[in-house]
Structure 1
């Protein structure tokens, strides 16, 4: 309930009763934290590498796969139906094209994500089964973020990676949306029309805060994983037997990443 109360006002005064406005107010601090992580700042500066982008795609795929499967399964739920736009917004097929472009036809065998990404997916599947109305918070946070920052980050990614064509950048493209701004207005209007009890609305606001926290945890997990691998790579060879490396595919993967990365950049998109 604390989030519900804090969402009623912003710095300028009353926020209003619209769910979209209340979510924006409730997640304001979390949004600032996410935007100012080293990961997001690096991305905005155009300091993303191909390996960073490939790792980002892997986590995004797992997150969107869980989200969209639950949205599809609950498409007729009264809280989900108004904001269900699979033709316009679905990202899974776009991510699959990007992953195949960069990883090859057997990309599914190469996808590795941190534990935090798995927890994110598990949370989406849990609420999809038990409290489908909470999917509204995740759909709003992700899709409107993609529409708001997708074009800019798409250009940054293309320039940073030196890509001549749009191949590998399908995630940032929304061919079913002719005007992102008009579509966002429609989406907010549909979301604000959802009938929720005060208790359900408070739960949605709490879930929106959690959505940002889950994203931040993904970033932190990636950084920790790579930090450990970097320290391992920097150790003398006699302190890190080759047999141990050969026996651990995950460690092989993280060590390989560290040879290419100093930091790992993952984007959070402004609402």
Structure 2
């Protein structure tokens, strides 16, 4: 590790993963697909393909979480109130008719496989749990509002962004980060978690790049 990385992993885990993944996070958020989606420039097909592509990621995340129940690291963060697979399926009942028939995402297949491989150690799973679910409770809520306005969609089509079991996102996220910080991890283990968080963002960016290759198809007339 560099001197900067060595100093970073001496910090609490929530600081390590937030500060150490900033560049990867910003790269994912700044992709052309996500920028145009949030600007309201893309058709419902684009959003349907986005949601369809994410489904295998959450399926793997929730299955591996269930398989690792009893692991103290996993149990510290796992919460059914966060799980999104049922919400995605509910939304796809609305959006699925707009999706590209037979479209398969190699990027999210690789992402799901990486999550399944994370079952080797609970800390690796926590990295993916943090990356997806805390993102859903942060920027994800803003995405939901924009999607609703862009397509005139009501709550029945936006279950992915609804967390009925979480009354206030900020206190929940604060408590989540406190649980991360309480994990008994040494600096080498925190570095492994950070590496996996960065890998998760990179895989997410690859998915957005895949969708960006279809922007000519997705742009609204």
Taking structure 2 as the reference length, what is the TM-score of the superposition?
0.90
Selected match of 1:177 from 166, 184, 192: 166
Q: Look up the match of 2:55.
A: 61
**Which of 51, 66, 71 pairs up with 1:72?**
66
Distance 2:104 2:211 in 1: 8
Using the alignment, how far apart are the partners of 1:151 and 1:121 within structure 2? 23
| Separation in 1, partners of 2:187, 2:29 | 30
Greater radius of gyration (CA): 1
Name the SS for the 1:79 alignment partner. helix
- The structure 1 residue matched to 2:118, chosen from 120, 127, 145, is 127
Cα distance in 1 for partners of 2:104, 2:186 equals 36
String of CA shifts for 1:66-85, please: whole Å, max 9, x gaps: 01110111121121110011
Cα distance in 2 for partners of 1:219, 1:112 equals 14
Moved >4 Å (runs of 4+): none
RMSD: 2.2
The 1-side partners of 2:4 and 2:186 are apart by: 15
Residue 114 (1) aligns with residue 108 (2): no
Give the unaligned 5+ runs of structure 2.
none
Spell out the pairing of 1:7-18 with structure 2 (5 A cutoff).
Answer: 8=7, 17-18=11-12
Instruction: Map Cα deviations across residues 159-207 of structure 1 (whole Å, 9 max, x no partner).
Output: 11122x2121100000000000000011111111111232221110100
SS of the residue corresponding to residue 174 of structure 1 reads coil
Deviation at residue 5 of structure 1 after TM alignment: 4.1
The equivalent position to 2:152 in structure 1, one of 147, 150, 162, is 162
Which has the bigger relative contact order, CA under 8 A and spacing at least 6? 2
CA drift of 1:42 comes to: 1.4
Q: For residues 100-158 of structure 1, give each alpha carbon's deviation from its aligned partner in whole angstroms, at most 9, with x where no partner exists.
A: 22236xx9xx6633111100001111111x22320111111111111112332111001
Corresponding position: 1:143 with 2:110: no
When normalised by structure 1's length, the TM-score is 0.74
Bigger mean CA offset, 146-155 vs 117-126: 146-155
Q: When the two structures are aligned, how many residues end up with a matched partner?
A: 218
Q: Could you say which residue in structure 2 is the equivalent of 1:44? A: 38
Asked whether the equivalents of residues 7 and 23 of structure 1 are also in contact (C-alpha less than 8 Å), the reply is no
Question: Does the CA-based 8 Å contact 1:58-1:111 persist in structure 2?
Answer: no
Name the structure 2 match of 1:212. Answer: 201
1:62 CA drift (Å): 0.9
